[in-house]
Structure 1
Amino acid sequence: MIEKLKSHYGFTKTPFGRALAPQMLHRHGTHAEAVARIGWCISERGLGVVTGEVGAGKTVAVRAALANLDTSRHTMIYLGNPAVGGRGLYGCIVTALGGLPRFHKATLIPQTMDLLAAEEHERGRITIIVLDEAHLLDAGQLEELRLLTNSEMDSHSPFACLLVGQPTLRRRIKLGTFAALDQRITLRYAMNGMTDKETASYIAHHLKLAGRSDTLFSDDATALIHQVSRGLPRAVNNLAVQALVAAYAAKKAIIDESSTRAAIAEVTTE
């Protein structure tokens, strides 16, 4: 099917794919601001909280921000599975920094802090810890993060930490239970959906990457995709691909409103 779609529309590659190099990403407003703020948080070696609905482009923005950094001066640690528990967080960091995690937590915590400090003082590198799906972190893990950021008596931090998750993360941290962690947050940014003009530009951008710089989606089709997706990039991708399939099945050269409605019915039907 993919090859048939490419042939029908004259694409040189599959459009609306996920595997894009950072320099090929669409620079709409909320994405560009998130990238800039994340970069600033890293430079300050702070604790950042980036939230947004599913498909808002949080991880994409983090990836773009990290791509702007000098890899010889930064060490990236990505933790995408909160289910590892509190001890697991420390163990993953120690392993990523080349250590063998100690068995007892009482010695694992200082081991983690020592390795983070050594990465900076001995290797001249700043560690960046990214915790994805951070809304799934339990209370114990959030407390462990507070302890981890409580290094060198608040005078200096050898690393930056980014918590990336759904809006519930922001609300949880605001609870009085996590007041100490909340006070340490350097960056708070909530990613919203694109505007209608940005959605149109986003669709055109991805089609151009696939080899079509002319108008392929009608204005009505684009407006409908924006309305249903609420401007969330992942939802736009899914609807646009399904609209391409629907128009292909109907032997249409242009994706019109009726093809888009057929795509929406396909995507939203249980």
Structure 2
Amino acid sequence: MFEAFYELSRSPFSRDVPPSELYESAILEETLGRLEYAAERQWFAVVTGDCGTGKTTTIRRFTEELDAAKFKVLYLSDSKLTPRHFYKGLLEQLGCESKFYRGDAKRQLHREIELMRGIHGL
């Protein structure tokens, strides 16, 4: 309805908006800068915020600029994760079957990350 009224070619409020076409707000630029800082140092980063504030969209925008040969982005969006499911979710994204116990899964994740860094340079 509003697309026709404003003569838009597509809805500006959908998830399929290309990240390169997002509004470049000061907050977006600050967040992207912080994520870049963490990525350059091979740190983990956590983005938090209220529902609908653009966390996922910001991460989509950030990952679009990363060199896939150098970086591996792991994304979990469940706000009620237990530590065990946190490790399980990350290991699954790396293509690994997670150990059952949290401590074992944590060590397994650390090992996989060190392999990515040392062997693959990710």
TM over 0.5: yes
- Identify the residue that residue 68 of structure 2 maps to in structure 1: 71
| Aligned counterparts, 1:167-178, within 5 A | none
- Identify the residue that residue 37 of structure 2 maps to in structure 1: 40
- Aligned AA for 2:77? G
Q: Distance in 2 between matches of 1:74 and 1:14?
A: 31
Given that 2:84 and 2:101 are in contact with CA atoms closer than 8 Å, whether structure 1 keeps it comes out as no
In structure 2, runs of 5+ residues without a counterpart are none
- Identify the residue that residue 17 of structure 2 maps to in structure 1: 20
Q: Which has the higher strand share?
A: 1
Given that 1:95 and 1:101 are in contact with CA atoms closer than 8 Å, whether structure 2 keeps it comes out as yes
Q: Distance in 1 between matches of 2:104 and 2:3?
A: 56
- The count of aligned residue pairs is 122
Question: Any idea what SS the aligned residue of 1:17 has?
Answer: coil
- Aligned AA for 2:32? V
Q: Which runs of 4+ in 1 moved over 6 A?
A: none
Deviation of the 1:18 alpha carbon: 3.4
Q: Which has the higher helix share?
A: 1
User: Which of 77, 80, 83 in structure 2 is aligned with 1:80?
Assistant: 77
Deviation of the 1:106 alpha carbon: 3.8
In structure 1, runs of 5+ residues without a counterpart are 126-270
**Could you tell me the percent identity over the aligned residues?**
23
Given that 2:83 and 2:102 are in contact with CA atoms closer than 8 Å, whether structure 1 keeps it comes out as no
Q: Distance in 2 between matches of 1:16 and 1:46?
A: 32
- Aligned AA for 1:21? P
TM-score, normalised by the number of residues in structure 1 = 0.40
- Identify the residue that residue 55 of structure 1 maps to in structure 2: 52
- Identify the residue that residue 120 of structure 2 maps to in structure 1: 123
Deviation of the 1:8 alpha carbon: 4.0
Given that 2:35 and 2:62 are in contact with CA atoms closer than 8 Å, whether structure 1 keeps it comes out as yes
- Root-mean-square deviation (CA), in Å? 2.2
Given that 1:36 and 1:65 are in contact with CA atoms closer than 8 Å, whether structure 2 keeps it comes out as no
- Aligned AA for 1:43? E
Assess, with a 3 A threshold, how the Cα gap between structure 1 residues 25 and 98 changes in structure 2: closer, same or farther: same
| Aligned counterparts, 1:1-270, within 5 A | 2=1, 5-125=2-122
TM-score, normalised by the number of residues in structure 2 = 0.81
Assess, with a 3 A threshold, how the Cα gap between structure 1 residues 56 and 105 changes in structure 2: closer, same or farther: closer
Assess, with a 3 A threshold, how the Cα gap between structure 1 residues 28 and 111 changes in structure 2: closer, same or farther: same
- Aligned AA for 1:40? Y
